[in-house]
Amino acid sequence: GGVGKTTIAKYAFNSYFESFERSSFLYNVRDFSESTDGLIYLQKQFLSDILDGRKIDIQSVEDGINQIKSAVYGKRVLIVLDDVDEVDQLAAIVGMRDCFYSGSKIIVTTRHIELLRACEIELIDHVQKLSIGESVELFSWHAFGQDHPVENYTKFLTRIIEYCIGCPLALQVLGSSLSGKSLVVWESTLKKLEVIPNSQLSRKLQISFEFIQDDHDKKPIPRHRLL
């Protein structure tokens, strides 16, 4: 998580959607599908995108599948399904992909490569983590507003890059949370991160978010907001 799959999918979608007759980008498929009638909600959103905002009534997932077959017939469409983690999510939206018109494109982002293989998706791109140089540059932009670290802070870079393990989201969040902070705060933050295994990246992000929130809460409320 946080390695940049959704960002890459957004870039591809924004770059090419005008070349297709219809397009749909379904965000956070995993989260939406966990809610009651989540798959039907996603089907409605997809059909609304394909049918120019038309309100759709769907009685069941099977009904939605049939309506999708009809909606995409004869159209070149671009579809992004973001953060998929179950086969039934793909089946509900693009399980009938043989019905899609020639030239249509379906992009799926997921952390589960076995899911793609189970659905016979063969064109798979593994998103690579950032190199050390790329990590330093990204972190520096968020922490210092430039592509390299400020001199007094360079001693922390090796530890930070090690903790973030090339994950863009972690580098951005940590950089933003430490921006403008004193060396004492940097040292304190890194000591907290040091006891958390690299596999628990979400916990590291939580610590960084807490620093951002604490800083926001301590700022005085502007006078105009009190009036």
CA–CA separation, 22 and 35 (whole Å): 27
pLDDT value, residue 207: 61
Neighbours of 143 (CB within 10 A): 25
| pLDDT at residue 52 is higher than 80 | yes
3-state class (DSSP) for residue 35: coil
For residues 3 and 48, which has the higher predicted lDDT (pLDDT)? 48
> Domain locations in the chain?
5-119, 132-217
- Percent of the chain at pLDDT > 90 equals 38
Picking from 222, 124, 139, 218, the residue whose alpha carbon sits closest to that of residue 179 is 139
Secondary-structure class of domain 5-119 per CATH: alpha beta
114: left (phi over 0), alpha (psi -120 to 50) or beta: alpha
Instruction: Identify the residue whose tokens are 């922390």.
Output: 156
Per-residue confidence band for 211, with pLDDT thresholds at 50, 70 and 90: low
User: pTM value?
Assistant: 0.73
The CB-based long-range contact list for 118-122 (8 Å cut-off, 24+ gap) reads 118/87, 119/87, 119/90
pLDDT of residue 222: 37
Beta partners for 38?
none
Q: HSE (CB half, 13 Å, CA atoms) of 157?
A: 20
The mean-pLDDT minimum among 35-39, 88-92, 189-193, 198-202 falls in 198-202
Residue 226 has pLDDT above 60, yes or no: no
- Confidence at 223, pLDDT banded by 50, 70, 90: very low
Predicted confidence at residue 216, as pLDDT, reads 41
Residue 128 predicted with pLDDT over 70: yes
